[in-house]
Structure formats: C-alpha cells, structure tokens
Structure 1
Amino acid sequence: MSRDDARVPLLTQEELPEDYQYLFDEDVLGELNLFQSIGHVPRAMQAYMRYGTALWNAGDLSTRERELAILSVARAVRARYEWHQHVELGQKAGITIDELAAIARDDDCPFPEREQAIMRYASAVAAGTVTDPLFEAAVEVTDTETVVGLTMLAGHYLMTARVLSALAVPIDGGEFAGWIPE
C-alpha cells in the first residue's frame, strides 16, 4: 500500500495548524504516517499522543514487556502497521528474531512465565476474550495496577490498529517487515 492508497491525505508538518506543528518534530515522534493521517483532527492527535505516553509508564512493565504486549496485540488482530513499527522497537528492547517469530506463530513457550502471562493477557484484551484465569495469571506475576495499565495499553494499540485499518494508512518506509522478520 502506498501513500496514494491512504483514505485520507497524509499531512505534512506545515499543513497542521501552527499550534500543533511541534507534534511532528523529531523529538516528539516525527512524521509517522499514523500521525499524518490523524493530524486531520489535531486536538485529538495531541490527546492521543499524550495518552499513549501516559500508558507507556502505567504499571510495572519493562520496556521489553511493553513491546511484547504491543506485538502480541498486533499479531492477535493482524495489524501489519503496528507489527512493522514495533519489530524494530522490540529488538531495541531485547526481543530476538527467534522470539519475534515465536510471537508471530502465537507460541509463547520460549518466554518466561511473567512474559507469557503478559502476552496472553494482551492478546486476550485485543481479541475480547479475557477470562478470569487469564486476568488472575497476569495479576499473579505483576499486580493489579500493572494489569489495569496493561489492559489500557492493549486497548490503546487495538484502537490504533482499527484506526490504521479504517484509514488505510500505509506502512512507514513502504515495505512490510514481515510477520517473521529476517
């Protein structure tokens, strides 16, 4: 999918109202296609970005665990844009290619118990299939605050995946990393 296939024009920094142009600065997040799409509603884009930042620090998850949760959501709903974006971020957080391949196969066996519970729970939030045992397993290896934050994080990335799909937002850089990256 190319920029021309997007359902809404991808805005540039200069096309945003002046009060919101800073949101496209590199020290914020830069001009990702996601933001170029939702920039048509700059106030909502700003709130979306602030909310995502707040969720990043909700609960007691490491960067690696957050990336495992996000990748699990992306895989659960087959969100190519989100998967593509978080493959590199996951690798920077210590997730190996073999672990990415396992996530893509929905195989959590290579992961320790805490990470398994986090990944299973995030996937279930995305699929709308959270059960008492999944919730309790996640609380057991973390705590209630962390599971609530994880629930909100997974829900945020599920919503993001739906927005990306509805607006047909093209993957940044053009070519999908693949479900099993090389």
Structure 2
Amino acid sequence: MTPRLTPLAAEHWDERARESLRGKVSLADRYLSGAPDAPRMPNVLGVLGHHAELAGAWLSYNGALLERSALDPRHRELVILRVAWRTRSAYEWAQHALIGSRAGLTDERIEAVAHGPDAPVWSPLERVLLTAVDQLLDRHGLDDGTWAELVRHFDPRRTLELLFVAGSYLCLALVFNSVGLQLDPDMALPPTLPRPDTEERP
C-alpha cells in the first residue's frame, strides 16, 4: 500500500528524538551519527521518530521482550510470525522471518507458520504456542485447555511474557498496517517463503 506516514530520515530528527533512541536500540548512535558509513535508518524507527516520547518508552519496553527475554528466541519468533501472518503485516513478517532464521527456525518452519497449528512439522509445544496466538487474536483470551497445556511447559514468568509478546506485536502490526510501513531495502524474503500481504485472510 502507499505509505501514509513517511519515515523520518535521521537528518531530520531533533535532539529530543535522538536522545529517545540512544541506548534503546543496538546501533542507535550509528543510525543518527551522520557519518558516511552510518547504516540506513530502518523504516520502523523512522516512523517512531515522529513521536519521540512514545518512541523512547516503546523501545525500552520492546527491548525487554527481544534482548532480555525469558522465552527461547525460537518460541518468541514463532509467536511473532503467527501474529504477523494473521494480521497480514508484511513488514513484521519480513523482519521476523529474518530474526527467526537467525534464532534457528528453518525455512520449513517459517513457511509452516502460514498453515497454523495443524501443520505436521510442529512439536506439541510449538503447536500450543500457535494455538495460543490464534485464540488471543480470535477471542482475546485463552481457553482452559490451551492455558493448561501452556503452563505444563512454561513457568509463570514465561507464560506472562508470551501473552505480552503476542499483544505487543499485534499492536505493532496494527500500526505498521495503518501507516503503510514499507519494507526496508534489505528485507528481501527468500522466494520459497510466503508473503502475508499477498494471501487471503484465514
């Protein structure tokens, strides 16, 4: 879709916005340095640059989910990918297909996310994670059976974090889809993986 909110380029960030990013995201200072070798500002950070106070608070919170997670990164990324698929968030899908691959998810498993918890590749725990995401999106809560199965595998800390991961990335998907967030230039998906924005909703 056509971008509705253009990401704010690094040279247009004021000092308050710059300060909101520093220390919250890896490479933050390099994004904003203006140096010839500075990496390109990701579109998601460019959009957040329009609201410095919100950006700082969100990035600090999101850092706890990504960098200080109690969950196995592969489990966290499965949850995020299922949210991205169900919400048809192409940016979230592309970004976390790459992060999931780095965390150890195979292309087969990433592709199977599109088919949901009934795909034959899943372990019992992976299946309940995907089922949990679907229930959270469809009914805004877990049924008794899914809750019982989840807490059989996870302690309270990881169970709570799982719920926050699903909810947080639903929030991001709603923002990305609404502002028309475009993929970054380096977000080329392998051709074997589905794009969530080209398929019909389940």
Q: Answer whether contact 2:8 2:50 (CA < 8 A) is retained.
A: yes
CA drift at 1:119: 2.4
Question: Whole-Å Cα distance in 1 between the matches of residues 6 and 89 of structure 2?
Answer: 21
How much is the aligned-residue C-alpha RMSD, in angstroms?
2.5
Q: Report the TM-score, using the length of structure 2 for normalisation.
A: 0.78
Q: Please, which of 126, 141, 147 is the counterpart of residue 159 of structure 2?
A: 147
Note the residue ranges of structure 1 that are not aligned, 5 or more in a row: none
Note the residue ranges of structure 2 that are not aligned, 5 or more in a row: 32-40, 195-202
CA drift at 1:52: 0.6
How many equivalent residue pairs?
178
Higher relative contact order, chain-length normalized (CA < 8 Å, sep 6+): 1
Distance 1:40 1:73, change over 3 A: same
Higher Cα Rg, which structure: 2
- SS of residue paired to 1:105: helix
Question: Whole-Å Cα distance in 1 between the matches of residues 177 and 193 of structure 2?
Answer: 21
Question: Whole-Å Cα distance in 2 between the matches of residues 148 and 111 of structure 1?
Answer: 22
Report matched runs for 1:33-182 at 5 Å: 33-56=43-66, 57-59=68-70, 61-106=71-116, 107-127=118-138, 128=140, 130-173=142-185, 177=189, 180-181=192-193
Q: Answer whether contact 2:74 2:105 (CA < 8 A) is retained.
A: yes
Q: Give the share of equivalent positions with the same residue, in percent.
A: 26
CA drift at 1:144: 1.9
Q: Report the TM-score, using the length of structure 1 for normalisation.
A: 0.85
1:19 aligns with 2:8: no
Instruction: Look up the match of 2:198.
Output: none
Q: Answer whether contact 1:33 1:169 (CA < 8 A) is retained.
A: yes
Q: Answer whether contact 1:104 1:179 (CA < 8 A) is retained.
A: no
1:147-178: CA deviation from partner (whole Å, max 9, x where unpaired): 11110111000000000111111111287637
1:87-138: CA deviation from partner (whole Å, max 9, x where unpaired): 1111111111111111112244312222222222133223335212112211
Distance 1:35 1:151, change over 3 A: same
